[in-house]
Amino acid sequence: MRATIAEVISMSDPTTAAELPALRLKRNEDRRLHAGHLWIFSNEVDTQQTPLTKFKAGDLVRVLAHNDRALGLAYVNPQSLISARLLETWKLPDAAWLAVRFRAALSIRERLYAKPYYRLVYGESDGLPGLVIDRYGSACVAQIGTAGMEKLKPQILQALEQVLRCSALLFKNDSSAREMEGLTSYVEAAKGKFNESSAVIEDGLEFQAPLAEGQKTGWFFDQAANRRALSKYVRKGARVLDVFSYVGAWGVRAAQAGASQVLCVDSSAAALELAASNAERNGFKLETVKGEAFDVLEDLAKKRARFEVVVIDPPAFAKRKKDLPKALAAYKRLNQLAMQVTADDGILVSCSCSYHVSPEDLQEAIAKAARGADKHVQILEAGGQSPDHPVHPAIPETRYLKAYFCRVGDSLK
């Protein structure tokens, strides 16, 4: 139950929380928040009573329903479509508050993972909107995506020191989300050095990942469960194609499962070098091809190359809702090309990390691709993000990753 203003004051220091400026919502615009969502969109704010222009990006506010009922504390950004994000607390955020949240997040990860390689903090799902922290042993990489969290950066550093005492901390604040928040992009080592690649351990395999220069925070922990699931589909002696391979996580996993030939495709020469060295580090070998995925797949199809397992794990094709039509066309084309190089009775792993592409959208793209490639396709298994990326039940935006494990056969016509 949401508290009244009087209750807020009684639970908080009246010289702090009670004096925060109010952000008032329009009538009935609090229903989604009562259901548990944490976002407030600009068109939900009663700008006649509380103009957004009166706030600075990152300011803390008291959120009020149209009838003055207090809904919680939030930080605001008048420049963003998401004008405020609730913090699920009446306490003003400081290092001690962050440390409590970090310990709660750490508790569930330590139950799930034997070694400290995982996403420690996943934004809204861990009650910390706008903050992501990945853990690489004794090192951490943080990504701040909102102005409110940017203001808390010193406290984030202090809280992490209290909870983890990490030997190194990198702020990799270069995501596209920052642009929408009006924030500059930068990469900064707050503690320790990140001149070289760092170790990642996944199910006994050891990798090196470029934390400072790599994609996202340097590694994709969200696909770990799907990579684990891949193993049962790789027969001994199989030929495997890993498209958008980055540093070879899927490919090395396939080699461990018994593949005799693994071909990794990526547009980055540096990533492919790491993919090859990651394979050698684990006692395997793989081949690499530098090029754009669509071009390489077309070339392989022309050469009638066939693979028993094909993995396509592209970057987000639809970062915004308006990108969806083009994205769906791209997913259809990509899957069709992948099916053309998948051997009869082979396995295609088709992934999407675009939130705006629903599981049904991706499934439809696969169906259209199957018709275009004249293939009979069966979806054997559906996967999502690993449990260190927990889904907030009231925030569908926290569920974004889809992976379909498909059997691809010749047409039954």
Q: Catalytic residues, which ones?
A: 353
- On whether the CB atoms of residues 153 and 142 are closer than 8 A, the answer is no
Q: Residue 397, Cβ neighbours under 10 Å: how many?
A: 16
Between CA 133 and CA 88 the distance in angstroms is: 19
- On whether the CB atoms of residues 86 and 72 are closer than 8 A, the answer is yes
Between CA 9 and CA 16 the distance in angstroms is: 9
Q: Residue 37, Cβ neighbours under 10 Å: how many?
A: 17
From the list 309, 273, 327, the residue with the least C-alpha distance to 408 is 309
Q: Which amino acid is at 35?
A: A
Q: Which amino acid is at 128?
A: L
Side-chain-facing half-sphere of 312: CA atoms under 13 Å: 29
State whether residue 211 is helix, strand or coil: coil
From the list 165, 168, 247, 150, the residue with the least C-alpha distance to 202 is 247
CA distances from 96 to 91, 118, 143, 220, 258 (A): 10, 23, 20, 29, 48
Q: Which amino acid is at 282?
A: N
From the list 303, 311, 304, the residue with the least C-alpha distance to 286 is 311
Q: What share of the chain is helix, strand, coil (3-state, %, to 5)?
A: 35, 30, 35
Residue in the block written with tokens 């707050």: 190
Q: Return the CA Rg of the chain.
A: 23
Q: How far is CA 78 from the centre of its chain?
A: 25
- Residues 268, 206, 346, 331: what is their CA dihedral angle, to the nearest 10 degrees? -40
